[in-house]
Amino acid sequence: MRQSNMLIPTLKEVPADAEIKSHQLLVRGGFIRQIASGVYSFLPMGQRVLRKVEAIIREEMDNIGANEMVMPAMQPAELWKETGRWNNFGPELMRLNDRHDREFALGATHEEVITSIIRDAVKSYKRLPLTVYQFQTKFRDEKRPRFGLMRGREFVMKDAYSFHDSFDSLDQVYQKMYQAYENIFRRCGLNFRAVIADSGAMGGKDTHEFMVLSEVGEDTIAYSDSSEYAANIEMAPVTATSTSEQGELKELKEVATPGKRTMQEVADFLEHPLDKGLKALMFKVDGNLVLVVTRGDHEVNDIKLKNLYKAETVELATEEETKAALGAGFGSLGPVGLPDDMKVVADQAVKSAVNVTCGANKDGYHYVNVNPGRDFKVDSYADLRFIQQGDPSPDGKGTIQFARGIEVGHVFKLGSIYAERMGATVLDEQGKAKTMNMGCYGIGVSRTVAAIVEQYHDERGITWPAHLAPFQVHLLALNMKKTEQKQLAEKIYDSLKTAGVEILFDDRAERAGVKFADSDLIGIPLRITVGKRAGEGYVELKQRATGEQTEIHESELLRQLN
């Protein structure tokens, strides 16, 4: 391509709102442009990189037998009501009405759509397992869109969904998917770790996140310095002991800040239908401090709560009150007024939920996903505290280190909850209806592009890994007014293009300094400069990443590139 024909609006200055390198460099390099907070265009260069990342993902998905399809972004509210997520997904779900006043969501994720398709299209266990995937624009009205492509409100995701007639079958596909994710992120040249991301406290279903190690990551991971052990320490300002799926925590956290809450709000928090993890809230009712611990799949509606506590509203405990109460020891506190079956759950929660004992209701200070017993050992509750750097690894091998991570991928054994709620069944061998099991697997494709830039840049610009770069070769003619330079550059351009090399030809009438600076910024791995020695047929060859450079005769170029 000729640069004079391409839309590559590079910038000298760092955009004022861009805090991290990937955001700065992708905007400055003319890869992306923002149109509204968290909403970006991929300009031609950005689109080329995105396509390359997609190609790697597509290859690995096809390789494990997943089928590519595309589902609509516009999704009827009825589907989301079937799973309860119309109400529970919270403000992150973008909603709109059509001209007939029918409600729609812009897809934040596609469990509902795919489950409705599969329930109609697949009737027999013989058709399972089945895995589908898509590349699609997702919409999430993030509270704090930031860092460019890292946290957008409109972004590209690869999402895959698998359907099964047994949990064993789900296990197998999950394993394959996990392996495919490892291949994908390795091929993207990323330094990453797969981490456990589930509370596991209630024998919860497996889920792993793929974290690119980076100082700008929004997650903290704890890993062993001498084994495979790694877990996400999610800091969430709620007293939940597990992550809920798909960002629903955003809504829940509103409930967990101290202050007056209605029983309806408390119930919404405690019985969140798609979060089967343990949750705890501490509140004051009638002057007593009460700790309620529950599991997301327990029914704890507001009427039950009102009956139990004889109150319409409660006051959530402050951090100090919680600390004081917990400091006195759990034994004296205990879960109050719960039905027997919930007491068992509560007891387990108390035994396993480190965050419950480490300052319930303290904003920003809850370790989710790290559980005593599973993740580290404790001899008594009095010893419970946040896991720290230097603690022994739970698997006994090495010590715990902390690192920041960017979540680029997430694999999740959903089990049967969506299929149950949406009535997705198949007939088994005996002709009996059986609820399907399901897995979901996401990759933030646009976020991955940003993560790559975080790991591949220097002070002058991006240093793309060769196979992800928008072009393989950047050809610069330093002075297009000089006939011998122009002619030689045109000749090289034609011959490399004919040979199938992806080449960008800077044929603009710009100064040499501008061309060099733009070239460094854009970060194409190999640069050919046609300058002073063009008359003799000599050009300069320079590696962007290493700075290594040589002079070479143009007749040697093709051989050198192969």
Question: Which positions from 89 through 118 interact with ligand ATP, judged by CB under 6 A?
Answer: 109
Q: Which one of residues 48, 85, 151, 276 is an interface residue with ligand ATP (CB under 6 A)?
A: 151
170 binds ligand ATP, rule: CB under 6 A: no
| Selection from 330, 310, 326 nearest residue 318 by Cα | 326
How far from 339 is each of 150, 266, 299, CA to CA, in Å? 44, 17, 11
Token pair listed for 251: 């809504």
Question: Residue 552: how many CB atoms within 10 A of its CB?
Answer: 16
109 versus 369: smaller Cβ distance to ligand ATP = 109
Contact 507, 1 (CB under 8 A): no
* Closest CB 151 distance from ligand ATP, rounded Å: 4
Q: Where on the chain is the footprint of Mg ion (CB under 5 A)?
A: 247, 407, 410
User: Taking the CA atoms of the chain, what radius of gyration do you get in angstroms?
Assistant: 27
Contact 78, 421 (CB under 8 A): no
Question: Which positions from 247 through 276 interact with ligand ATP, judged by CB under 6 A?
Answer: 247
107 versus 409: smaller Cβ distance to ligand ATP = 409
Q: How many residues make contact with ligand ATP (CB under 6 A)?
A: 17
Token pair listed for 126: 């013989």
x/- letters, 427..456, toward ligand ATP (CB under 6 A): ---------------x-x-xx---------
Backbone phi, psi, residue 181, to 5°: -65, -40
152 binds ligand ATP, rule: CB under 6 A: yes
Q: Which does 157 bind (CB under 5 to 8 A by kind): ligand ATP, Mg ion, none?
A: ligand ATP
192 versus 269: smaller Cβ distance to ligand ATP = 192
242 binds ligand ATP, rule: CB under 6 A: no
| Selection from 536, 534, 533, 530 nearest residue 503 by Cα | 530
Q: Which residues pair with 87 in a beta bridge?
A: none
Quote the DSSP letter at residue 93: S
91 versus 259: smaller Cβ distance to Mg ion = 91
142 binds ligand ATP, rule: CB under 6 A: yes
* Closest CB 27 distance from ligand ATP, rounded Å: 16
Owner of token pair 């956290």: 253
* Closest CB 339 distance from Mg ion, rounded Å: 32
* Closest CB 364 distance from Mg ion, rounded Å: 16
What residue type is assigned to position 50 of the chain? L
Contact 153, 38 (CB under 8 A): yes
Q: Which one of residues 27, 128, 157, 349 is an interface residue with ligand ATP (CB under 6 A)?
A: 157
155 binds ligand ATP, rule: CB under 6 A: yes
Backbone phi, psi, residue 485, to 5°: -70, -45
- Which residue's beta carbon is nearest to the bound ligand ATP? 444
Contact 210, 190 (CB under 8 A): no
Interacting residues toward ligand ATP by CB under 6 A: 109, 140, 142, 151-152, 155, 157, 246-247, 407-410, 442, 444, 446-447
